[in-house]
Every structure is written in structure tokens, then in C-alpha cells.
Amino acid sequence: MIHCEQDLLANLIELSPKNARHKFRQCIFEAWDWKCAYCDKELNKDTATIDHILPKFKGGHNVKSNMICSCSKCNRLKGSNHLEDWYTPTYKFYQEERLGKIKYWMEQSSSIKILSSDNATPYITNDFDIGWVAS
């Protein structure tokens, strides 16, 4: 409820699209403990990449449940393959437990709570852009 100008200002969150995207990616990396979901390699802000579990051009969207923390090597090797076709026991770093974790991740709702900004809740717009509203 907004009672005065101060309330309005307190609820106003300014976030550029670039920062929003950065924050969103950051959340995914943090959720995976900065480790590659496929091979468990330790990553940092320079080496972590986002892999789209279902590739974008195959209909995958920019939603959390389809985005995963990956090292650049796994990301490149997976390429445009489907997860089930690529992440199999023939892959050097395959682990059943990790596959289970990835599947569990995909089943989660796409809502995400931002730890560093308690007052902001992101939402996904119709064209799958990420937006932010004050909660």
C-alpha cells in the first residue's frame, strides 16, 4: 500500500535490462553452487556459462527451469543435442545422481527468489523476457 511519496520511492526498483539479466544468471549459478551441472567442475564468474537444457532454437525458453549452470566445455559438447540424447552413461562425466538433479531442476516452477534484493520479484513476460516487480 502506498501512502506517501516515501513509500513510492521505497518500492521503486530501478534495474536496467542488463543488470536484470546479470542477476538472473547469478541466481542460477548460485543455485548450482558455481559448479557445472553436468561434470561438477568448479566455476567462477569468468568460466560459468548458462546452458539451455532445451536449446533455444528447438523451442527452449529463457526460463529458470530451462537454464542451467554449465562449464563452457560441457556447454559446447552438448551443443544442440537434447539432454537425454547427450547426457548418457557414454559421456565421460555422466552421473545418474547429477542427471536426477537436473531433472528435478527442470520440474521446478520458473519463479525464482532473488537473495540479494528481498523486495524484488522477477517475472517472465509473454515474450519470455525477464521483468522485475516490487513485492
Binding site for Zn ion (CB under 5 A): 36, 38-39, 41, 71, 74
Q: What is the nearest approach in angstroms of Zn ion to the Cβ of residue 49?
A: 9
CB closer to Zn ion out of 19 and 81: 81
Asked whether the beta carbons of 34 and 41 are under 8 A apart, the reply is no
Beta-bridge partner residues of 133: 121
CB closer to Zn ion out of 74 and 83: 74
Q: What is the nearest approach in angstroms of Zn ion to the Cβ of residue 94?
A: 11
Distance in angstroms (rounded) separating the CA atoms of residues 43 and 33:
9
Q: In Å, what is the CA distance from 77 to each residue of 44, 71, 74, 104?
A: 19, 10, 5, 22
Q: What is the nearest approach in angstroms of Zn ion to the Cβ of residue 4?
A: 51
